[in-house]
Amino acid sequence: MQPASNATVFIVDDDASVREALAWLLRSRHLLSEGFGSGEEFEAMLAAGYAPSQPCCLLLDVRMPGMSGLALFDQIAQRGLVEVMPVIFLTGHADVPTAVDMVKRGAFDFCEKPFSDNALVDRIEHAIARSQEVLADRHRHQLLEVRLAELTERERDVMRLVVEGLPNKLIADQLDISVRTVEVHRARVFDKMEVKSAVELVHMLRDL
């Protein structure tokens, strides 16, 4: 999957020259970026209610004055944003074991300074692609929940038995309704859920 053109790479590093160099590198690869000089700055954006609606990732320095990269990562994890906003730690050699531990705790990756431009951009593109996949999955789930909410109670009863693989006759017997009524409800369920078969319906609900 190609990174989305509207993706943003957030850069959190207390060194302005590092932020500027990374921003230049990203511009040269047609990637948008936004820089923050401290963990507190970025955390303030999160505290104000920021929730990614477009693909993104975060380049995060491990060692910073005040709120460290590790403390900021904990804030991101507590807000449930680690999957939708993959974190790539920027680390010196001494901090590599710490960065490895952060990857085990859910960070996307780490890149040791001085880093290769190509290697870093490659990791960034993979992180953005991951963010894009997570957002797409969430969007599909939201659409599915909207469709389910449109079903009547009886349509839900019929759908449950259809998914269990029961034929219309047995569904009619279990619900004490006519086979024709089952057929009508079944057709409405397929229409509202936007599927053409019971197999497709089963796969859709399994994704949820």
pLDDT tier at 9 (50, 70, 90 boundaries)? very high
CATH number at 44 reads 3.40.50.2300
For residues 121 and 202, state if they share a domain: no
For residues 154 and 132, state if they share a domain: no
The tally of domains found in the chain comes to 2
What's the pLDDT at 93? 74
> Which range of residues forms the domain containing residue 101?
8-136
pLDDT tier at 94 (50, 70, 90 boundaries)? confident
What's the pLDDT at 132? 95
pLDDT tier at 51 (50, 70, 90 boundaries)? confident
Question: Dihedrals φ, ψ of 63, to 5°?
Answer: -105, 120
The answer to the question of residue 144 being in a domain is: no
For residues 117 and 14, state if they share a domain: yes
Q: What distances in angstroms separate CA 194 from CA 60, 85, 143, 186, one per listed residue?
A: 42, 31, 11, 12
* The one-letter amino acid at 62: V
**pLDDT tens digits along 20-50:** 999 999 999 999 999 999 999 999 999 998 8
**pLDDT tens digits along 112-169:** 888 889 999 999 999 999 999 999 999 988 899 999 999 999 999 999 999 999 999 9
Q: What distances in angstroms separate CA 44 from CA 48, 50, 67, 97, 137, one per listed residue?
A: 6, 9, 12, 28, 27
Q: Would you put residue 172 in left (φ > 0), alpha (ψ -120 to 50) or beta?
A: alpha
For residues 93 and 37, state if they share a domain: yes
